[in-house]
Chains A and B, each alone.
Chain A
Amino acid sequence: MRLEVCLLLLMCLSWPAAAQQLDRKPEGESDRQAEWQMDGQQAQDPNRPLQPVPAGDGNTASVYAYWADRVVQIQVVDLQSQSKSGIGSGFIAGQPGWVVSNYHVIAELANQPGQYEAKYLTEDGRSGRLQLLAVDVVHDLAVLLAEGLETQPLALSSAAPPKGTRLYSLGYPYDIGLTIVEGTYNGLLEKSLYEKLHFTGSINPGMSGGPALNPAGEVVGINVSTAGNQVSFLVPSGFVARLIADTTGQAPDQDALNAMITRQLQHNQQRISETLLASTEPVTTLDGYTVPGALADYINCWGNSQQDWRDDLSQVYYRCQTQDDIFLSGALYTGVIRYQHDLLSTENLHPLRFYRQLEQRSVYPQLRLDGDEQSVTNYQCQTGFLDESGLVFKSTFCVRRYLNFTGLYDSYLTLTSLNEQQAALQSTLVLAGFSWANTERLGTRFISSIRQGAK
């Protein structure tokens, strides 16, 4: 279950395009970055009083009046039908004529540049072509070059505002014209793999990529997703600053774009794997078995048990998953970890009947990943007995490869313990977008941390 709902209306399929490696420090401070830092300096001291809106009294109307011209609508146009296939929002940042938006808004352009083009439309009726300059798929960001748009950039806030600060989110919801939405800033989202800000304002489809401004008119975050009922999420503007600093102004070709995205995904999976492998093994007990528990704070776990009133089978389960994912195309989300443990037992069933039940449960994958023919290969599987920590499992390991991002794999590891006549543990680990080495390391760790007997 994905917590968030992407804001973009009509998303299409396919594979992605690119940005620069995230942890890389910008080589020297460009004028652009200096400019951004200058703009940001005012907000750096969290104790300083908030700057009033330059145009007036800080109310919504004046925020709108003062900054609306820096927010554009982005349309992704299908070249064959000559009509828009997706819409979103964007804003000028970094340099005059540079538009920042969400990666998911322009993913089609990155994936199939021959089939789509992107254009901007301003509130006062100007429009022009957009060219992709850089992307950051991990934080769902993109920088585009807007032809013929000379509007000055919005400043980026460099520090998080105090919780409760009023923010103004702008964008073009449902293609009904530029809209401003008021809400409050509620801090960083906890238990999140990819930093996000919690904003209580109604962000709606089409507003993706639009800015959320503080009363001083600085961009605090970028509209990215919503969980409904005024629970919305923003990408912190710090990531925009980093991406802008790494953007050269040269449009990359398709291979360069894929290489850029691959680097970002590789770096991201390495970061996740290292934190997971470095953590002490948090375990939980499941009716006599010790199994991997919530391995990190961004992994959310819940469990329950049930006794089938008709069948002589009881089930205790424990399910964990990361709360976020990385959008690569309408058919491919990555950067996900899911695992679950099901302890099944019976009072009276003959072992042959009991294991037949387990077999039937194993045929259909309990955890699923997206993916289409354009983005991944078919799964290849192997199965066999596994003997680890004194426990014997029947194990199936399936793995598939990303077609456009070399060295990244989705994997599906499922284990059924063969230890008792009338009880068995079925554990499954799903990793999306990990390197082969990390898939192996995380898989080995997962297997070896399952033990019989309480901790």
Chain B
Amino acid sequence: MSTTEWPLWEVFVRSRRGLSHVHAGSLHAPDGEMALRNARDLYTRRQEGVSIWVVRSEDLWASTPDERDSFFDPAIDKIYRHPTFYDVPEGVEHL
């Protein structure tokens, strides 16, 4: 093992056209180009993807469990935000 640890990267893979990139995992790499290549070797070796994004883990800002109440609970009783009051025409599959 090397003595200096490479930075950590988060990997996002789009499985096929039309879908979004989804978080696949993380890995170590010295820079972005190598991170892309490592991601290709680690996360797309069974044809899982058609596109890869990598981003330095330290550049991601994440919500914390402590903030759960203030972030997410206020949405619980706002049922009018869900489009459940519309009549859906027959035969519409992807709504």
B is bound to A = no
Seen from chain A, the residues whose Cβ lies within 8 Å of a Cβ on chain B are none
